[in-house]
Structure 1
Amino acid sequence: MRQINGQNSTSTIKQYSSTLLLMGSMLCSTHLLATTTATAYNANNYNAIQQTMLAEFALAYADTATALHNYTVLAIKSNSTTVKQRALNVALEQHDFKAALDIATHWVVQEPSDVPALFYLAHIALQAHEYELAAESIDKILSHDPSADLEKILAGIAPESKEDQTVLVDALQNSQAKDNPSILVIIAALEAQTGQFEQALATINRALKKRPNASNFILMKANLLSALGDEEQTRKWYSKASRQHKSNLEIRLAEVKYLIKVNDSMLALEKLEKILQKWPKAEEALFIAGLTSIDLKQYERAERYLVELRNSSQYQNDAYYYLALNAERKGHYETAKAYYRLVDGSLYAVSRQNLINIYTEQQRLNDALRFLTQERVNYPQHASFLYQAQAEILKKMGNKRAAIGLLEEAIQHLSDDPELIYAEVLLLDPFVQRDRLDQLLTLLLDLEPNHPAYLNAYAYTLALQNRRLDEARDYAERALEMAPDQASIMDTLGFVAYLQNDFSTAAKVLEQAYLLNDSVSIGVRYARALYMQGDLGRFAQILKQLQQKHPNDPQLAPLNSLLIPPPMPKSS
């Protein structure tokens, strides 16, 4: 039986490059021409190549309508599987499910016994909400291949609305293959999606009677028991499944992950040791064992597992990172630094930040600066992060001028990097370096006009300078639309409204900010707005709260004076 890759979801349908497709079409045409007379000219084959080329050129120039039309015509007229797959890809990429459905339907009409074509049709019918057609296609697939793996056919395209889910379940339950285990597991997944966990459990149990050794069936039942909150039965099911399927690594690892999830890490580690006795090179098991050992403070054991992954293509960077973390927790700081230096990929930034923290604890900030300078040579792709890290160290050392100078140098090399620009913005004095701030904040909003942090920064800077307040308010309001739960943005908007003498709005917005973040600076602004609004009772309450939480903060002194009544005039 011919197999296909990716019939189960749009993202996994095999993609063909333009070059491969054109070459494939030309080779196909060449083969066909060779079967005719040497002097015969096959216009149809030429037209197919021409249409394919035109379709690819149209795609290259974003003329998707022309490309889709050409490929749809080609797919319907052509017998080439490659062309049909490419046509489907184009239709699905454009979310044109009608065109995709037409292509897949014609494919099945041309080749009614082609199981891959039926898979495509079932998949696309689901996307187009043609559930009866999907069920009919599944019936045909199972009539050709009763053991076909169908349970992932809904991956990424399961109906979202309850009505559609009900229609699909009804269609599957009324199909000829309603008792097929693959159909049952799809029904169970849909029932679980709608929260019918008990019914889904009953359905998956029916499937398990027919295919008791199917890993995905076993794991689905475990997940359903867990979703029902029945930890005892979940544990028993995992334990039974692991005993009965001792040679199934997937099931045994799933049990370990569940035990870790329910905070039984010691038992999980014991089971991991048994797994590694049987599969000593199983990388996922080694990785989980390493992390679990760290959590249990069994550092020597953790190192033993993680060093096995130093040459792993999948886990190498993770292994180096956790080996460093493990060494750091043991107090072996030089070893930790050596491992952190080896980390790359997604953990690069956090590993270097941890390394900087070690240098900071060791009071060796100059060494950290030299290290980061060399890192910029070794890892130019991380230059932005490294410049910012160096600037932060210079700031800690009390050398803000050097930090600003370094960031200005960085921006000359990476002029379109908003994070670098923002880092300098945070260091500049809003009164002394006003022109530079205006320049950088304008550049920031040119690069990312709707970024809430950058809008807020500009609004707050203008408020501090008490100028262009209408513009500042517009920035703050736009920022709050983008990030409605940010106390810092509410604080800025309240500050601007206060400066505009809109005390009602200021008090309202600052109250919300204070509820989210009861910092002294926000509290002081809120109290001032209440005072100016004339709500002296609420003002006194907030001031009392601030005095209790921040008894010695100098920001409260001006507020205290507002409560002192003016001296009574002396009688003559």
Structure 2
Amino acid sequence: MRQINSRISGVRIKQYSTTILLIGSMLSAAQLHAAGEIYHANSNYNAIKQSMIAEFAIAYHDIPTALHNYTVLAIKGNSASVKQRALNIAIEQEDLSAALEIATHWVLQEPKDVPALFYLSHIALKSHEYELASETLDKILKIDPNAELEEILASISPESVADREYLIHALQTSSSKDNPSILVLIAGLEAQNGHLEDALDIINLALRKRPKATSYILMKANFLNALGNQEATLEWYEKSSKKHKNNYEIHIAEAKYLVKQNKTTLALDKLEKIIKKWPKQEEALFIAGLTSIDLREYEKAEKYLVELRSSNQYQNEAYYYLAVNAERKEHFETAKAYYRLVDGSLYSISRRSMISIFAKQNQLTDALRFLTQERVNYPQQASFLYQAQAEILIMMNNKKAALRLLDEAIKNIPDDPELIYAEVLLLDAHADREKLDKLLKNLLEIEPNNPSYLNAYAYTLALQNRYLKEAREVAEYATELAPEQASILDTLGYITYLQNDFAASAKALKQAYELSNSVKIGVRYAKSLYMQGEIAQFEKVLQELQANHRNDPQLESLNSLLLPQQIKKS
């Protein structure tokens, strides 16, 4: 079983490749098919030539030929690497019948080859051949009773309750049903079916047989937590940590659970002990840094996060949270220095945080200069940086400069939908009608099914009060794509209001108002009710708006509608 690690990791099927010299790489596709006809896989031909033909076929996307050749070679030959290559091609192409045939023949040829058995069990599970999977797992455990199988279902667990029940039955009737690895598989399946109490009982049986297995200990904690028993979960973590003092995984899992339960003070105390014992564990340092920030222990946070500045995994996150930490301390220049160092997925949020600091310091001109330099340093972020600069110019009440900048941006990065959309939002529906039409059509050519872009097009037509039939169709389509987006429902309500379809308008605007609680949408909703003659409902919505948005000038138009009704009543 120990041999598996070099050939197969856990239960994940690795991607093996056979290095083959592709002589004559300039061979045309036509020549390839001709060669395929001459050198079709058969028992009389040299295996190297067969595999070369198969690799040529893969290069020219002729997968059936490649799979056929490799399947024949795998079944008739003894090379493990060829069998692995054949299996990988079959799995990649999701040809499970071919994969099952190859793996079955491999096991028949090498009945004690554990990697072959792993392949077969994996493919059998994926093919819903649960009895075969159970038998194969049984064979693995006979070769190595301590084999760890609990992750074998990680990516291919049966999707339906019925299939999981069938697999549970197959495992429970196998000769290895009492093996802890089989028990853990059953426990996981029972948990997926919602039988958490049964799963807990089964994992306890497995733990009696293998009390030091980390994955079993953590699985029990997950079951207790899933049952909603926080106290029992905490007790189990505490007991396990004391019993397994040198097990980092258990200790860090306990700390993470404490953080999730908002027991941050206790979590930080636990993390400090972990770091003292395992000072190089980056995950512990990172979580300790974040927890310290939450507890306003800023000096501690800096101490832990500074250790991660050279980390391959946490470097960007460390710089980002060092910046957040400095900003919380109001050390703004230090915060900006750290934000500058952030790259990767946190790039945009870090630069937005910098802009916020520049704004607090009344240094928006400096922010513009900084972002211009950033476009030189990070050309791949140019679209975001142009948009950020345009937003700053709007903050500085310089809309004309913002539009000029976006024009430049679109010229430099044509067909970037986000840049086009940013300019669309700034243009006036009437004064910039021609330019707006052009940009909106271009936007929908690039992304015809984007709900926000469809909404912008429909709303612009509504503001211009033209092509309302088309505008309504576009808005309805956008609503289908994003049924709970208040802005789109608002557009649909506005268009139907202009069409005098007040029932449809009230329906759409009611939903938009409930989602957003926006006073602007609420006013439109109230007007739709009024135009329908639903005066009682109109007055109810108005009272709600007055209570939630007292003295808002947008409500004046509704008060003027209410006045004739009051005169009529008196």
Instruction: Provide the TM-score with structure 1 as the length reference.
Output: 0.91
Cross-structure match for 2:20: 22
**Pairing 1:3–2:1 present:** no
Aligned positions, number: 547
Deviations 1:160-206 (A, max 9, x none): 21111111011001111111111111111111111111111111111
Structure 1 residue aligned with 2:49, among 42, 47, 50?
A: 47
Cross-structure match for 2:298: 299
Contact 1:8-1:123 within 8 A present in 2 as well: no
**Pairing 1:407–2:406 present:** yes
Task: Note the residue ranges of structure 1 that are not aligned, 5 or more in a row.
Answer: 27-41
Contact 1:169-1:187 within 8 A present in 2 as well: yes
Contact 2:20-2:52 within 8 A present in 1 as well: no
SS at match of 1:250: helix
Taking a change above 3 Å as real, the CA distance of residues 70 and 454 of structure 1, as seen in their structure-2 partners, is farther
In the TM superposition, residue 339 of structure 1 has moved relative to its aligned partner by: 0.6
Taking a change above 3 Å as real, the CA distance of residues 71 and 449 of structure 1, as seen in their structure-2 partners, is farther
Contact 2:141-2:147 within 8 A present in 1 as well: yes
Cross-structure match for 1:132: 131
Contact 2:22-2:56 within 8 A present in 1 as well: no
SS at match of 1:358: helix
Contact 1:22-1:52 within 8 A present in 2 as well: no
SS at match of 1:246: coil
AA of the residue aligned to 2:348: A
Taking a change above 3 Å as real, the CA distance of residues 271 and 539 of structure 1, as seen in their structure-2 partners, is closer
Alignment of 1:404-443 (within 5 A): 404-443=403-442
Alignment of 1:99-138 (within 5 A): 99-138=98-137
In the TM superposition, residue 344 of structure 1 has moved relative to its aligned partner by: 0.8
Contact 1:8-1:154 within 8 A present in 2 as well: no
Alignment of 1:77-116 (within 5 A): 77-116=76-115
Contact 2:55-2:66 within 8 A present in 1 as well: no
Alignment of 1:237-386 (within 5 A): 237-386=236-385
Rounded to whole Å, the distance in 2 between the matches of 1:158 and 1:500 is 53
Contact 1:490-1:510 within 8 A present in 2 as well: yes
Deviations 1:247-303 (A, max 9, x none): 111111111111111222112211222212211111111111111111111111111
Deviations 1:65-108 (A, max 9, x none): 44433433333233332232222222222322222211211221
In the TM superposition, residue 354 of structure 1 has moved relative to its aligned partner by: 0.6
Moved more, 311-320 or 100-109: 100-109
SS at match of 1:480: helix
Taking a change above 3 Å as real, the CA distance of residues 100 and 535 of structure 1, as seen in their structure-2 partners, is same
Cross-structure match for 1:202: 201
Identity of aligned residues (%): 64
Deviations 1:366-386 (A, max 9, x none): 000010111111111111111
Task: Note the residue ranges of structure 2 that are not aligned, 5 or more in a row.
Answer: 25-43
Rounded to whole Å, the distance in 1 between the matches of 2:482 and 2:541 is 26
AA of the residue aligned to 1:181: P
Rounded to whole Å, the distance in 2 between the matches of 1:196 and 1:163 is 14
Moved more, 550-559 or 248-257: 550-559
Taking a change above 3 Å as real, the CA distance of residues 76 and 412 of structure 1, as seen in their structure-2 partners, is farther
Alignment of 1:57-96 (within 5 A): 57-59=59-61, 63-96=62-95
SS at match of 2:307: helix
AA of the residue aligned to 1:502: D
Root-mean-square deviation (Å): 2.2
Contact 1:275-1:285 within 8 A present in 2 as well: yes
Deviations 1:389-444 (A, max 9, x none): 11100010001111111111111122122111111111111111111111111111
Rounded to whole Å, the distance in 2 between the matches of 1:525 and 1:459 is 17
Contact 1:25-1:49 within 8 A present in 2 as well: no
Cross-structure match for 1:479: 478
Deviations 1:449-483 (A, max 9, x none): 11111111111011000111121111111111111
Alignment of 1:544-559 (within 5 A): 544-559=543-558
Moved more, 414-423 or 328-337: 414-423
Deviations 1:335-355 (A, max 9, x none): 111011011111111111111
Contact 1:425-1:437 within 8 A present in 2 as well: yes
AA of the residue aligned to 1:259: L
Cross-structure match for 1:169: 168
AA of the residue aligned to 1:22: I
Cross-structure match for 1:155: 154
AA of the residue aligned to 1:456: N
AA of the residue aligned to 1:286: L
In the TM superposition, residue 6 of structure 1 has moved relative to its aligned partner by: 5.0
Rounded to whole Å, the distance in 2 between the matches of 1:412 and 1:74 is 56
In the TM superposition, residue 307 of structure 1 has moved relative to its aligned partner by: 0.7
AA of the residue aligned to 2:447: E
Contact 1:8-1:155 within 8 A present in 2 as well: no
AA of the residue aligned to 1:14: K
Deviations 1:300-328 (A, max 9, x none): 11111111111111111111111111111
Instruction: Provide the TM-score with structure 2 as the length reference.
Output: 0.92
Cross-structure match for 2:529: 530
Moved more, 120-129 or 84-93: 84-93
